[in-house]
Chain A
Amino acid sequence: MSTSLDLAVRGTTAHTGPGRADRLRSGSRAAALWVTAAAVILVTAIGGFFLSILDEETSALHPESVQPSGTKALMDILRERGVEVTVTESRQEARTAAAAADTTVLYIDLDADGETETRKEIGEAVRSGGNSLVLADPGYDVEDFTPALRTASYFESDGQHELLQPGCQAPAAAAAGQVRGADGVYAAAPSYEDAVTTCYTFPGVPPGAGAYARAEADGADVTVLGSQTWMTNASLDEEGHAALMLHTLGQHKNLVVYLPQAGDQPSAGEEEPPNALTFVPPWFGVALLWLIPLTAALLWWRIRRFGPLAVERLPVVVPPVETVHGRAALMQRAGARTESLHALRTASLLRIAARLARPSQERPEQLCAAIAAHTGRDLAEVRYAYLEGAPAHDRQLSDIAVLITAIESEVSPT
């Protein structure tokens, strides 16, 4: 049939399914779409919530942290009382603020990111502005800030958990009364005994040392707190902690909380020997990341099939000799050696009888004699193979079968 004739008779066909617009319309009515959309929104919301939690400030003593170890409660109280609280991570800012008038500087450095240089600068700036400096358990670093104080003893972890009595004339301590626990005790440096007031001493510490030390020298004052827990959200409402902290930090109109950062220190920028990564240009990382959308596009391009797989309807085919294998396995399991050999012998004798042109009704004994005569084999051997051999085990059976095959192969048609 010619193609043009075929076209004239049968016409043509085209895709008759719903178009793109129809599919969009019917798709928008499908429940699955809305269920999926709801699921996506829900997952996004949950994910966003967790992300926002992760984003939150959780480091200890941080003025923005609402964790039990944070200090947001204290800062909020101070703000309510009219204190201007500023949080800074910049060394430059902290130094400027420390030198400004009417300012308290709270130095919090739990990760020991601040360097000696920084501490000295802050101490100097506070002295030059005649301001107050508050240190939260600085340990041996206290000597960098002021020459008037030194650490007297330092408990690593399990400090003092007892209630401590003020036992001094410092107004803050006197107003606060007893506090709980201390991690370090501080004392006046030699020749500064007059300028220093120590409070909250307890048995076992060197004489003149206390968990709260205040040095007033050079027009500025430095207060050392022997415990960081006094100002945390968790324990601010216990004992006299709140009063002590408010007195200490609320002396001036401004409070600057300085959290030193490792990258903002004098030695930062001059460290690190150059490694291989330093020589990689900055755009290389971007190009590497761009491989993700590129791979996605590549997959999308290659993954789409050019139409569905062609279907083949095959006719049924049954494996043929399965029954033979099955029967053979049954015979072997039952040890049917006699029956097996009988089949082999009968078949072989029938073939030989045909080849030697003997009548098929002939007795096997006579046929054996004919075979022996024809092949020149010993008659006893032929009779053993075809009549008398009774295999006691499979090996013997196999031997007799091989013998039968050998004898049969020696018989050539006359």
Chain B
Amino acid sequence: MIITWRFVVLVALAAIPVMVFPSWGTAGIALAGVMLVAFIDWMATASPATIRLQRTPGRRVRLGHETDATLTVINAGTRAASLHIRDAWPPSAGAEDNRLQVRLPAGGQHEHLTRLVPTRRGELPADLVTVRVASPLRLCCRQQSVEVPAAIRVMPPFASRRHLPSKLARLRELDGRTLLMTRGMGTEFDSLREYVRGDDVRSIDWRATARAQHLMVKTWRPERDRRVVIVLDSSRLAARRMGDGTSFDAAMEAAMLLGALASGGGDRVDILVADARVRRHIGPISGSDPLGIMTNDLADVFPELIDADWNEIVTQTLRLSTQRAFVVFLTALDERTIAQDMLPALPVLRARHRLAIASVADPDLGDLAAQVYSPAQVYRAAAAEHDLLTARSLGHALSDAGIHTVHAEPEDLAPQLADLYISLKASGKL
């Protein structure tokens, strides 16, 4: 039983007879009268079970954009009902104006649009809908909370989207160039054209020259239809907070930019999210709207507090592609993890594929390393420098082993990884 302000006013009014005839008896009778009226009013209230509800979630959005959800209320009872309804959403869904007051005739229907401005990516499920039915005298209400399942899907913001046009343009430039500076191992034959001064003499196709009576050269174009496998580590190390989001968020940005770029360049992209098991496998992405597929499928993956099983990850990666592929691991550059868990599992992979390890650098470390004005700060700076040096030497060691590395702060990781891809593509090393 929920009471309203009218009940409070009724109690206040009941003081008048008690003040006129002050006695315990009058007070008791006045209180009992108020309670009796309220009880009868409550008994005459329609049940909230006669109110039927449905929620229709609005379109999925990128983080930072606005969406909505429509709550439909139908009065299935035989009487008109005065309703007060709360359309509850979790705080991160950013629901605004989620309460409504409406009077519905029997059989009446009402639609309420709740504006949602989500503050977090992922699949955000709606909470309960609470219905209050006012009593005939409006002294009290009956309240029930009903589960009306609905969810809005908030996709990652993909802030690196702004890099995509320029990177794609560079890729197309490579594509359209008549002749590559170097003849890589895997470059593809494109067409023949006449020799102009400055062309590599090694590119002259003598058979065609003999046939055409002119010097002819072969032109090459970057390989198409290669495999790119992006492995996103979602273990505990990816849950570290980096700048605004987690390390995983930055890694996801990088994966999406690379994925969009590679599929735009004609490659087939697989994205594998894994820790101790494969959490998500997207791909191969080659069709139209690769970004849409990736953002939607990665929307509700979050890191978990478990360690990565690199044997399992490598096995799954090998299973993905028999063809030579460009495999990018987006993980933490943690000395012990790389040395003990990752490197032993990698040789097979390195023999078959081209490998790159991309990791997120902690922007806080630089700040810590710069402050040396008290002994405590010096020790902290030394510890931070130690971490930075470790990461650096680890990068060198991996490079020496023929593994490409990218180690950058969250907002730089995506463009740097894209640059690595483009340079590999330009040099025909894919």
Contacts and interface: CB of A to CB of B under 8 A. Distances in A.
Interface of A: 1-3, 6-7, 10-17, 19-20, 282-283, 285-287, 289-290, 293-294, 297-298, 300-301, 304, 306-308, 310-321, 323-325, 327-329, 331-332, 339-341, 343-344, 346-347, 350, 394-395, 397-398, 401-402, 404-405
B45 to A, nearest CB: 9
Contacts, number: 217
B90 A15 contact: no
A283 B54 contact: no
Q: Which 6 A-B pairs have the closest CB atoms?
A: A307-B130, A340-B382, A394-B375, A401-B372, A12-B52, A315-B302
Given A321-B368, A394-B375, A306 B86 contact: yes
5 contacts: A316-B239, A316-B302, A317-B240, A320-B362, A343-B385
B240 A290 contact: no
A283 B389 contact: no
Contact of B372 (A283, A318, A398): A398
A317 B240 CA distance: 6
Interface of B: 2-5, 7-8, 11-12, 14-15, 18-20, 22, 27, 31, 47-54, 56, 70, 72, 74, 76, 84, 86, 88-92, 99, 111, 120, 122, 127-132, 142-148, 236, 239-242, 246-247, 302-305, 362, 364-365, 368-370, 372-389, 392
A329 B379 CA distance: 7
A310 B90 contact: yes
Contacts of B4: 301
A394 B378 CA distance: 9
A328 B377 CA distance: 9
A311 B127 contact: yes
A7 B72 CA distance: 8
Given A294-B11, A318-B240, A327-B383, A310 B127 contact: yes
Q: Is the interface of B mostly helix, strand, loop or mixed?
A: mixed
Contacts of B392: 350
B104 to A, nearest CB: 13
A327 B368 CA distance: 13
B390 to A, nearest CB: 10
Contacts of A16: 49
Most buried by B among A19, A306, A311, A346: A306
A287 B132 CA distance: 33
Contacts of A6: 54, 56, 70, 72
A324 B380 contact: yes
Contacts of A17: 144
Contacts of A304: 2-3, 143
Nearest to A360: B396
A293 B378 contact: no
A354 B26 CA distance: 94
A206 B22 CA distance: 59
A11 B149 CA distance: 12
Given A19-B49, A286-B18, A328 B239 contact: no
Given A15-B49, A316-B239, A332-B375, A301 B127 contact: no
A405 B382 CA distance: 12
Given A286-B18, A320-B242, A328-B379, A11 B54 contact: yes
Nearest to A312: B90
A282 B8 contact: no
A347 B389 contact: yes
A250 B110 CA distance: 91
A404 B145 CA distance: 65
A311 B125 CA distance: 10
B12 A307 contact: no
A15 B48 CA distance: 7
A344 B54 contact: no
Contacts of A10: 54
B47 A20 contact: yes
A397 B377 CA distance: 11
Which of B5, B11, B72, B383 gathers most chain A CB within 10 Å?
B383
A340 B379 contact: yes
Contact of B146 (A2, A13, A344): A13
